[in-house]
């Protein structure tokens, strides 16, 4: 048989890499634990623990907490990309990838596209748990899907940032701890769980600067008004800008490794 | 075609911080030959290989693969060789078939071509029976075979093998050697790194011995052995307390070093005829010998001579 070498294009290479990552997930379904169990656990714990104190009841607290947990889950799912990339780099498989005549961005892009499946599962679990606890957004399923997609988009944008972190870090363990801290700080120092007015002054200042606050506010507004708000556009535009900055940086860091 | 060297490495240098890992390494590999990079652990073999295969950027120097400068035509150069790394660079979590399929696709084969080639390689490397099991169930030898199979997807004319038999048991090791010889018969050019002298001796047409980032010696295994001169004779003394006296005595009789290892003393001889007077001398000094061995020089001796005392 004669082997012809086609120079694979970006899309084909990326699709193959994404397929590879999906296969890995299928062979190791336990890797999905964090996106399946964590949101359920957090939703139940936070809902029943703080519901009474913050909103006077679980049901009244759900419109606050559902977007909060949704975004927190996205952050945590996105941070997984960094650790995964670091592990791959350390395993020697990436040497092989890099010695292949494929497009340089494909391994990264493949990973991040496959990770959107994790984000999708995380979003569905979060929203479903909220629904089962009695959350009934008045704006209809269409807008719930819209905020789900917006959250997934944000998670995907952040996964580029965490991927860069993974490439620059020394070890997978380092990525994991840094990611965990970032995730905790970003989600707690925001309006995710506690409404703005209930925060102390310095905390409110930090929360205002926190981009996570923006995303959560945008989502709550969409759910409250049933329309695509100004904030939602801001989140979209910023997301595109972040990817435009971080994608080349991440590829650079990848080449450097 | 054969006028072009498969590889030309010119003045390759790499520093990691203050440490010079590879220092001004140059060599040429002709098409169709097996070239061995031999050296102890940490000598710079893998670093050299990683630079040649574009995995690592050199601080200075140039690499040409079939005449193409890897710094300028990286992607083209990468399409002309296969690489089997020191650590199995296959995906642990997925099956052998899936690994071969994915790497075939990434190498630019169409879906059908990838399928055919995968089936071919599974047969060739006797992996059909485990093709769909996850690699976690694979033995070290099977993993290496798969690793090599993946490197051969595109039937590259040039194959890099980084310590292909490290960690394999003797039987799997000789299987690997057979596989490598088969590739040579098919006309492939092979560059391999190894710490094992017998492996280099068995497989390589030409050798570069690397130590501390330098090429300390280059030549065919036979040439390198020739430089060592004649055979080496090892005396085992019956009484260990006589070792010092015997060593002194031998040192006055032969040109090279006298090597000592417990009750064993060994010297290199120009010719076998020199042995008789040595025995007479020892006999006159009433130094008893319990065992005597004469060996043709091995690459071990070359290696010891060149790198001894430096590590």
What's the complex ipTM?
0.75
Nearest to B106 among A13, A23, A24 (CB): A13
Size of interface A-B (CB pairs under 8 A): 94
Q: Which of B129, B123, B126, B122 is nearest to B99 (CA)?
A: B122
d(CA A36, nearest CA chain B) in Å: 21
Determine the residue of chain B that is closest to A3 in CA distance: B154
Determine the residue of chain A that is closest to B133 in CA distance: A27
Considering only CB atoms, which chain A residues are within 8 Å of B81? 99
pLDDT at residue number B229: 64
pLDDT at residue number A5: 47
Could you give the strand order of the β-sheet that contains B158-162, starting from the edge strand earlier in sequence?
B81-84, B158-162, B189-194, B34-38, B206-211, B214-219
pLDDT at residue number B311: 44
Mean pLDDT of B218-237: 80
Nearest to A5 among B89, B105, B108 (CB): B108
pLDDT at residue number B174: 87
Buried b (16+ CB within 10 A) or exposed e, B188-226: bbbbbbbbbbebbbbbbebbbbbbbbbbbbbeebeebbe
Token pair listed for B172: 């799997």
- Chain A residues within 8 A (CB-CB) of chain B? 1, 3-8, 12-13, 16-17, 19-20, 23-24, 27-28, 91-93, 95-102, 106
The fold adopted by the segment(s) B7-220 is Rossmann fold (3.40.50)
SS (H, E, C) chain B: CCCCCCEEEEEEEEEECCEEEEEEEEEEECCCCEEEEECCCCCCHHHHHHHHCCCCCCCEEEEEECCEECCCCHHHHHCCEEEECCCCCCCCCCEHHHHHHHHHHHCCCCHHHHHHHHHHHHHHCCCHHHCCCEHHHCCHHHHHHHHHHHHCCCCCCEEEEECCCCCCCHHHHHHHHHHHHHHHHCCCEEEEEECCHHHHHHHCCEEEEEECCEEEEEECHHHHHHHCCCCEEEEEECCHHHHHHHHHHHHHHCCCCEEEECCEEEEECCCHHHHHHHHHHHHHCCCCEEEEEEECCCHHHHHHHHHCCCC
Nearest to A95 among B55, B105, B108 (CB): B55
Considering only CB atoms, which chain B residues are within 8 Å of A30? none
Q: What value does the mean pLDDT of chain A take?
A: 87
pLDDT tens digits, one per residue of B67-113: 999 998 888 888 888 888 776 678 888 899 999 999 999 888 889 99
Q: Is the backbone of residue A92 left (phi > 0), alpha (psi -120 to 50) or beta? A: left
For residues B84 and A64, give the distance between their C-alpha atoms in angstroms, rounded to a whole number.
54
Mean pLDDT of B125-153: 86
Q: Are B102 and A16 in contact (CB under 8 A)?
A: yes
Q: Report helix, strand or coil for A55.
A: helix
Token pair listed for B63: 């690499």
d(CA A104, nearest CA chain B) in Å: 10
Q: Which residues pair with B266 in a beta bridge?
A: B234, B259
Q: Is the pTM of this model over 0.80?
A: no
- Chain B residues within 8 A (CB-CB) of chain A? 50, 53-55, 75-76, 78-79, 81, 83, 85-94, 98, 102-103, 105-110, 113, 116-117, 120, 134, 150, 153-155
Q: Is the pLDDT of residue A8 over 60?
A: no
pLDDT at residue number A4: 45
The fold adopted by the segment(s) B231-295 is Alpha-Beta Plaits (3.30.70)
Mean pLDDT of A128-140: 92
The β-bridge relationship of strands B19-29 and B7-16 is antiparallel
Q: Do B106 and A4 touch (CB under 8 A)?
A: no
Determine the residue of chain B that is closest to A9 in CA distance: B108
Q: Is the pLDDT of residue B272 over 50?
A: yes
pLDDT tens digits, one per residue of A41-80: 999 999 998 888 888 888 899 999 999 999 999 998 888 8
For residues B135 and B3, give the distance between their C-alpha atoms in angstroms, rounded to a whole number.
42
For residues A6 and B113, give the distance between their C-alpha atoms in angstroms, rounded to a whole number.
11
d(CA A14, nearest CA chain B) in Å: 9
Share of chain B above pLDDT 90, in %: 29
pLDDT at residue number A2: 41
CATH 3.40.50.300 boundaries in chain B? 7-220
CATH 3.30.70.100 boundaries in chain B? 231-295
Q: Are B73 and B153 in contact (CB under 8 A)?
A: no
Q: Which of B67, B44, B42, B63 is nearest to B54 (CA)?
A: B63
Nearest to A8 among B53, B106, B155 (CB): B106
pLDDT at residue number B310: 47
Q: Name which of A27, A87, A106 to mutate to probe chain B: the one with the most chain B Cβ atoms within 10 A of its Cβ.
A: A27
What percentage of chain A's residues is helix, strand, coil (to nearest 5)?
80, 0, 20
């Amino acid at each position: 048989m004669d082997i012809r070498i086609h120079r694979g294009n970006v899309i084909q290479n990326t699709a193959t890499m994404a397929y590879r990552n999906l296969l890995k997930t299928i062979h190791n379904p336990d890797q999905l634990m964090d996106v399946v169990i964590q949101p359920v656990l957090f939703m139940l714990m936070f809902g029943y623990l703080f519901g009474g104190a913050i909103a006077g009841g679980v049901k009244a607290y759900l419109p606050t907490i559902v977007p909060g947990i949704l975004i927190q889950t996205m952050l945590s799912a996105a941070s997984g990309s960094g650790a995964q990339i670091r592990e791959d780099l350390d395993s020697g498989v990436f040497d092989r990838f890099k010695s292949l005549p494929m497009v340089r961005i494909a391994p990264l892009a493949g990973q991040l596209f496959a990770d959107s499946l994790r984000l999708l599962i995380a979003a569905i679990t979060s929203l479903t748990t909220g629904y089962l606890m009695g959350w009934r957004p008045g704006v209809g399923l269409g807008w719930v899907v819209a905020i789900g997609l917006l959250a997934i988009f944000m998670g995907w944008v952040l996964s580029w940032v965490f991927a860069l972190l993974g490439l620059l870090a020394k070890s997978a363990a380092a990525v994991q701890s840094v990611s965990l801290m970032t995730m905790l700080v970003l989600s707690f120092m925001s309006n995710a769980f506690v409404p703005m007015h209930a925060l102390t002054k310095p905390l409110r200042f930090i929360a205002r600067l926190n981009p996570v606050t923006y995303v959560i506010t945008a989502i709550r507004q969409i759910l409250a008004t049933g329309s695509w708000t100004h904030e939602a556009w801001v989140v979209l535009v910023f997301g595109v800008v972040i990817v435009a900055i971080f994608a080349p940086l991440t590829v650079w860091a990848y080449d450097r490794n | 075609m054969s006028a072009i060297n498969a590889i030309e490495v010119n003045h390759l240098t790499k520093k990691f911080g203050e440490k010079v890992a590879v220092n001004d390494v140059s060599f040429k590999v002709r098409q169709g030959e097996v070239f061995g990079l031999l050296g102890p652990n940490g000598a710079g073999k893998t670093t050299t290989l990683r630079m040649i295969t574009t995995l690592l950027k050199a601080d200075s120097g140039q690499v040409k693969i079939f005449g193409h400068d890897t710094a300028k035509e990286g992607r083209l150069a990468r399409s002309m060789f296969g690489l089997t790394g020191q650590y199995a660079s296959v995906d642990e979590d997925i099956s052998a078939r899936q690994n071969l399929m994915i790497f075939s696709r990434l190498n630019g084969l169409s879906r059908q071509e990838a399928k055919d080639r995968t089936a071919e390689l599974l047969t060739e490397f006797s992996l059909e029976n485990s093709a769909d099991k996850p690699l976690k169930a694979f033995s070290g030898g099977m993993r290496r075979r798969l690793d090599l199979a993946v490197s051969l997807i595109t039937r590259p004319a040039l194959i890099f093998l980084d310590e292909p038999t490290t960690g394999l048991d003797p039987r799997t090791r000789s299987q690997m050697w057979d596989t490598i010889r088969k590739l040579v018969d098919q006309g492939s050019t092979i560059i391999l790194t190894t710490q094992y002298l017998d492996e280099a001796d068995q497989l390589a047409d030409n050798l570069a011995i690397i130590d501390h980032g330098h090429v300390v010696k280059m030549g065919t295994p036979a040439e390198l052995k020739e430089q060592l001169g004649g055979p080496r004779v090892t005396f085992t003394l019956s009484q260990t307390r006589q070792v010092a006296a015997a060593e002194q005595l031998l040192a006055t009789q032969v040109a090279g070093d006298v090597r000592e290892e417990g009750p064993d003393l060994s010297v290199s001889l120009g010719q076998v005829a020199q042995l008789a007077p040595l025995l007479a001398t020892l006999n006159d000094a009433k130094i008893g010998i319990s065992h005597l061995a004469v060996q043709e020089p091995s690459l071990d001796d070359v290696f010891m001579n060149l790198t001894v005392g430096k590590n």
